[in-house]
């Protein structure tokens, strides 16, 4: 097997043309012609993850977040990104990214997460004409905000979430809108579809003020919850006949 077979899987199930215009998906570093016996799945391509790929004997890294998100003006191998790229090239490791093309697919990132949270009657939150969209909206057994926050932490293995609301923790919710990653720009869809609570990540101060003004309760679960990308894709890539390892990434923030 070569990297072309991995690329073909994504072309068939999560086409690159479905990625947002600003995104950079597909081949990032390396050569799809190289033989691949083991793939390392990861959320981010860090130097630690590259060393894990070397240790595992992986010839290819498939990442959710692109390593090369912005055009390179210089390749300084004394800087962190330059060191990563140099190490990848030295060890002949190919890097492939599946970002918003995966997010907008079916089930896609939020489809998987909605299922993990136990949502029913799930629909696309912000569908375009073909029905694609990153977000999801569905129903959950009525429960308090405190219980839902605890469920999010448990299901997605994060130590804390941030709550934006005027309601007490005992306030019950049942209609849940979800847009993982930095999805706060989708909050208008959640409002229009009368969600009781909007779950996303990376909410900034002024976005939080907008949510309060709109009287939309929100839970910021952070970006790290997107590790589910790895768990979802592992059996599908293994079915192609390639061995798959998962990166050992840690939640990047600590409470002190």
Q: Where are the domains of the chain?
A: 3-102+227-246, 104-222
Instruction: Kindly report the average pLDDT of the chain as a whole number.
Output: 95
Q: Give me the CATH code for the 3-102+227-246 domain, please.
A: 3.40.1390.30
pLDDT of amino acid 254: 82
Contact 41, 246 (CB under 8 A): yes
Q: In this structure, what token pair is assigned to residue 222?
A: 């952070």
More confident residue, 255 or 114: 114
pLDDT band at 129; cut points 50, 70, 90: low
pLDDT band at 73; cut points 50, 70, 90: confident
CA distances, 47 to each of 33, 61, 125, 147, 237 (Å): 24, 12, 35, 37, 23
Is 104-222 in the same CATH topology as 3-102+227-246?
yes
pLDDT of amino acid 132: 80
Q: In this structure, what token pair is assigned to residue 132?
A: 């694609």
Name the DSSP class of 163: E
First-to-last C-alpha distance (Å) of the chain: 47
Mean pLDDT, to the nearest integer, of 84-93? 98
| β-sheet with 162-164: strand ranges across | 120-124, 136-144, 172-178, 197-200, 217-220, 162-164
Judge: domain 104-222, CATH 3.40.1390.30.
Answer: yes
Q: Is pLDDT at 147 greater than 90 in this prediction? A: yes
């Amino acid at each position: 097997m070569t990297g072309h077979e991995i690329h073909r899987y994504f072309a068939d199930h999560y086409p690159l043309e479905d990625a947002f215009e600003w995104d950079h998906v597909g081949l990032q570093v390396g050569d799809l012609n190289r033989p691949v016996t083991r793939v390392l799945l990861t959320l981010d391509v860090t130097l630690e993850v590259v060393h894990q790929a070397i240790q595992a004997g992986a010839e290819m890294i498939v990442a959710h977040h692109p390593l090369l998100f912005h055009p390179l003006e210089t390749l300084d191998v004394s800087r962190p990104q330059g060191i990563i790229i140099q190490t990848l090239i030295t060890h002949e490791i190919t890097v492939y990214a599946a970002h918003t093309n995966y997010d907008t697919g079916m089930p896609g990132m939020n489809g998987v997460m909605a299922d993990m949270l136990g949502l029913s009657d799930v629909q696309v939150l912000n569908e375009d004409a073909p029905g694609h969209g990153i977000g999801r909206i569905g129903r959950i057994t009525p429960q308090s905000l405190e219980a839902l926050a605890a469920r999010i932490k448990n299901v997605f293995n994060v130590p804390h979430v941030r709550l934006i609301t005027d309601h007490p923790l005992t306030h019950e919710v049942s209609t849940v809108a979800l847009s993982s990653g930095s999805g706060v720009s989708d909050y208008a869809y959640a409002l229009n579809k009368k969600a009781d609570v909007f779950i996303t990540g990376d909410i900034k101060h002024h976005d939080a003020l907008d949510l309060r003004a709109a009287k939309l309760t929100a839970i910021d679960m952070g970006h790290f919850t997107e590790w589910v990308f790895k768990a979802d894709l592992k059996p599908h890539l293994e079915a192609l006949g390639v061995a798959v390892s998962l990166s050992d990434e840690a939640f990047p923030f600590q409470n002190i």
